[in-house]
Amino acid sequence: MRFQIKHERDGRIRIHLMDIKKMSCRQADTLQYYLENTAGADKAKVYESTSDVAICFATDPDKKNRERILHSMQKFHFEECRVPDDYLAHSGREMNSTYRENLVMMVLRHYAGRLLLPVPVRLCINALRATRYIREGLACLREGRLEVPVLDATAITVSMLRGNTNTAGSVMFLLRIGELLEEWTHKKSVSDLARIMSLNVDKVWIRTEETEVQVPYSKVKPGDRVIVHMGNVIPFDGTVCEGEGLVNQASLTGESLPVRKTVESTVYAGTVVEEGRLIIKVKKTGGSSTFENIVRMIEESEKMKSGLESEAEHLADRLVPYTLAGTGLVWLFTRNITKTLAVLMVDFSCALKLAMPISVLSAIREAGHHQITVKGGRFLEAVAQADTIVFDKTGTLTRATPTVCDVISFNGHESDELLRIAACLEEHFPHSIANAVVEAASKKGLLHEEMHSRVEYIVAHGIATTIDKKRAVIGSYHFVFEDENATIPEGKEELFRTLPTDCSHLYLAIEGRLAAVICINDPLREEAPEVVRVLKEAGFSKVVMMTGDSDRTARTIAGIVGAHEYFAEVLPEDKANYVEREKQAGRTVIMIGDGINDSPALSAADVGIAIGDGAEIAREVADITISAGSLYEILTLKQLSDGLVDRIRRNYRSIVGFNGGLIILGVAGIIQPTTSALLHNLSTILISLRSMRNILTWRP
């Protein structure tokens, strides 16, 4: 691929493709995908109309990243780059291109018509266009509602009857522009959000004739039998051929309670196994149907409306009768149709109904740019109002990548063999501690083929299975010693008493006897104390930490991060009960967690925030998901939420102040109704465009 460097500065380069004048949307998406997966490139933007590409990258002294990117561009060929079908189908680029063209053509047609068409032709066109608005206004009246369509219809009708064709045409033109911008912003925000919420599955477990094996997601074919354990997402549409479980389908159907699935039941991609274990015969691969279902769910869900947004819509409708009453009073006292029209041409409701939803949807879109997924505007508002925040410890306040620092044998077997057994059990379940065990075995080159019959996950406790007809369990002290009644081998009591105290412990028992203790180094996130401090300054009067770890570990971590309270050795129901108690006390509660055991509390909280690389079910029930990179994203979310509430209130003041001034100037005879209508509609569009701008002026 030949290209020319047009502009360059530290960490950013802009190039122009010389072999193509204008890219198609498919070509632009192909290049975008290629650059997103190019080593060294942090961010890229492709401009299809000019065949330009802007690439951001991390600067380094020897400029290796720059050279790597330029070399990759030289090797690039559209026909050789393989892009997933879902990426091309749902990129949103073609939709944006279509709306841009529609907007330009609408403006050109309007002004070309005013310049070129004779007055009688313009009159006929405006009369035809006016019928739609008049029909909508009459429909509202028939239903006994005095809402915005009534005002629009009245203003257009009066203007047409007075012969003000240009005024009526301008009003309808600006209304159409506003409708197009609102529809564009809404669809783009929903599409962006749906892409973020879509499946992100790399590998899946499938049942073969001999055993269970893990294969890439792309390798699965219709007819394969996919194994889905508790807490995991169902990656494909299909039919249950073995097993029984409860499936959370809220992301697709909105059902609040999990649905029982047995043999021959149909299951859908994107839902989550909340309890049990299912083997599913794949019906079809590909995620397009799931994507469309998510889009529909978002569009229909009332979660998309914040309280302030709904209040704005209701206020807009309530103001219509007062606007009509004001119009009548001005006519009654002045008998001046010009001054009467000045009131009718200006109303508060158009701007309120247009700017507020755009503000919310734009904030959700902006959150996505900061790797924050928000499932509805009301959750941003709740974050702004919250005064209590509850953190899970493991994987949230501590690093999501703990490490195994030691394996202590209690049954005389080699530590590597015991680690291999532990990894074989833990690899089935998405948890930071489980990932640490699997990673430790991988680094040592320990192959852990399937040696068990079936794995059972006990929420917040551990894992149980059968190995060589012997029951094996791995998990917490409470699970292994109290629930399973495991014992310490004779002569090993002193070794058990002297276990390291500066790390977490994972216990492995076989046939009721302790076999090994795996010591886990669970490092605190470096930014955690600073994040907690800033949250306190931002207005959180109660910062709480909850963990299933011992009181000793919990007390230490809580002291370091500066939590007001901490709770140790808690079960999932304990976390959820605490959240409910705080809500009953009149507090607005945020819960942050990453595991299956956090799901009840995430669901119970006013706002549940899940860590991006945690369990699928945690992300499913959570209202907001942040990436696992840094807890600073919580501060970004707080700033974004506060900024949204401030923007909505500022819009209120702007709309009421500006439109109120227009009415006063019109009644005083200072400006004409045509000018009032033009300024009113222009202000509505300008406020809406301002609402589409990013709230945060800095980049992550």
413 and 509 part of one domain: yes
- The secondary structure of 92-138 as a DSSP string is SHHHHHHHHHHHHHHHHHHHHHHHHS-HHHHHHHHHHHHHHHHHHHH
More confident residue, 327 or 29: 29
Does the pLDDT value for residue 288 go beyond 50? no
pLDDT band of 2, cuts 50, 70, 90: confident
Could you tell me the pTM of the whole model? Answer: 0.65
CA distance linking residue 421 with residue 439, whole number of Å: 13
CA distance linking residue 393 with residue 371, whole number of Å: 21
More confident residue, 643 or 300: 643
Nearest to 317 by CA among 349, 357, 345, 356: 349
Whether 573 is in a domain gets the answer yes
Each residue's pLDDT tens digit, 641-654: 999 989 988 888 88
In the DSSP assignment, the letter for residue 393 is I
Structure tokens at 266: 């149909």
Each residue's pLDDT tens digit, 576-591: 899 999 999 999 999 9
Does the pLDDT value for residue 70 go beyond 70? yes
Does the pLDDT value for residue 304 go beyond 60? no
Strands 372-374 and 259-261: unpaired
In the DSSP assignment, the letter for residue 217 is G
Which segments within 173-258 are labelled E, that is strand? 203-207, 212-216, 225-228, 237-248
pLDDT band of 302, cuts 50, 70, 90: very low
Task: Please tell me the total count of domains within the chain.
Answer: 5
508 and 557 part of one domain: no
pLDDT, mean over the chain: 81
Distances (CA, A) of 249 to 252, 254, 267, 366, 666: 6, 7, 9, 27, 55
**pLDDT reported for residue 452:** 58
Does the pLDDT value for residue 295 go beyond 60? no
**pLDDT reported for residue 185:** 63
What is the average per-residue pLDDT within 25-48?
A: 86
Each residue's pLDDT tens digit, 145-178: 777 788 778 878 877 887 777 777 877 887 787 6
Does the pLDDT value for residue 50 go beyond 80? yes
pLDDT band of 182, cuts 50, 70, 90: low
Whether 214 is in a domain gets the answer yes
Each residue's pLDDT tens digit, 505-535: 889 999 999 999 999 887 888 899 999 999 9
174 and 309 part of one domain: yes
**pLDDT reported for residue 564:** 94
Nearest to 639 by CA among 538, 527, 530: 538
Nearest to 148 by CA among 302, 313, 326: 313
**pLDDT reported for residue 562:** 93
CA distance linking residue 73 with residue 34, whole number of Å: 9
Q: How many CB atoms lie within 10 A of CB 202?
A: 9
What is the average per-residue pLDDT within 565-577?
A: 87
Does the pLDDT value for residue 130 go beyond 80? yes
417 and 450 part of one domain: yes
328 and 386 part of one domain: no
Structure tokens at 269: 């991609």
For the chain, what's the residue count?
Answer: 700
Q: Please report which helix (H) or strand (E) contains residue 146, including its range.
A: none
**pLDDT reported for residue 161:** 80
136 and 216 part of one domain: no
**pLDDT reported for residue 301:** 45
Domain end point (choices 489, 521, 553): 521
63 and 104 part of one domain: no
What is the average per-residue pLDDT within 298-317?
A: 56
What is the average per-residue pLDDT within 219-233?
A: 83
Mean pLDDT is highest, among 136-145, 347-356, 675-684, for 136-145
As a dihedral over the C-alpha atoms of residue 272, residue 273, residue 274, residue 277, rounded to 10 degrees, the angle is: -170
Q: For position 221, which CATH number holds?
A: 2.70.150.10
471 and 497 part of one domain: yes
Whether 88 is in a domain gets the answer no
What is the average per-residue pLDDT within 48-66?
A: 85
Structure tokens at 25: 């949307």
Domain end point (choices 490, 521, 552): 521
Lowest mean pLDDT of 339-343, 434-438, 458-462, 539-543, name the range.
Answer: 458-462
Whether 604 is in a domain gets the answer yes
End-to-end CA distance of the chain: 32
As a dihedral over the C-alpha atoms of residue 618, residue 622, residue 626, residue 627, rounded to 10 degrees, the angle is: 20
**pLDDT reported for residue 108:** 92
**pLDDT reported for residue 454:** 67
Q: For position 435, which CATH number holds?
A: 3.40.1110.10
Whether 92 is in a domain gets the answer no
318 and 183 part of one domain: yes
Does the pLDDT value for residue 565 go beyond 90? yes
Each residue's pLDDT tens digit, 319-374: 777 777 877 888 888 877 767 766 766 666 667 766 777 788 788 878 877 888 88
CA distance linking residue 461 with residue 477, whole number of Å: 8
Whether 361 is in a domain gets the answer no
412 and 516 part of one domain: yes
Does the pLDDT value for residue 700 go beyond 50? no
What does the H/E/C string look like for 461-520? CEEEEEECCEEEEEECHHHHHHHCCCECCCCCHHHHHCCCCCCEEEEEEECCEEEEEEEE
CA distance linking residue 465 with residue 449, whole number of Å: 14
**CA dihedral over 488, 492, 493, 496, signed as positive or negative:** negative
**CA dihedral over 251, 256, 261, 264, signed as positive or negative:** negative
Nearest to 461 by CA among 443, 483, 491: 483
**Contact present, 437 and 518 (Cβ < 8 Å):** yes
Lowest mean pLDDT of 34-38, 138-142, 618-622, name the range.
Answer: 618-622
Containing domain of residue 134, as a range?
A: 98-194+303-350+659-692
CA distance linking residue 326 with residue 123, whole number of Å: 29
Does the pLDDT value for residue 37 go beyond 50? yes
Contacts of residue 534, defined as CB under 8 A and 6 or more positions apart, other chains included, come to 635
b/e sequence 494-515, b meaning 16+ C-beta within 10 Å: eeeeeeeeebbbbbbbbeeebb
Nearest to 114 by CA among 53, 62, 165, 153: 165
**pLDDT reported for residue 313:** 60
Q: Count H helices, E strands: the chain?
A: 24, 24
**pLDDT reported for residue 303:** 45
Strands 237-248 and 266-267: antiparallel
Whether 43 is in a domain gets the answer yes
Nearest to 407 by CA among 436, 364, 450: 436
CA distance linking residue 546 with residue 578, whole number of Å: 10
Nearest to 93 by CA among 25, 33, 36: 25
Domain end point (choices 500, 521, 542): 521
Distances (CA, A) of 349 to 60, 321, 415, 588, 685: 53, 11, 71, 31, 13
**pLDDT reported for residue 201:** 57
Does the pLDDT value for residue 137 go beyond 70? yes
239 and 336 part of one domain: no
**Contact present, 220 and 238 (Cβ < 8 Å):** no
* Neighbour order of strands in the sheet with 513-521: 403-409, 513-521, 504-510, 470-475, 462-467, 456-458
Lowest mean pLDDT of 307-316, 443-452, 641-650, name the range.
Answer: 307-316
505 and 380 part of one domain: no
**pLDDT reported for residue 299:** 52
**Contact present, 280 and 353 (Cβ < 8 Å):** no
**pLDDT reported for residue 611:** 86
Whether 636 is in a domain gets the answer no
In the DSSP assignment, the letter for residue 245 is E
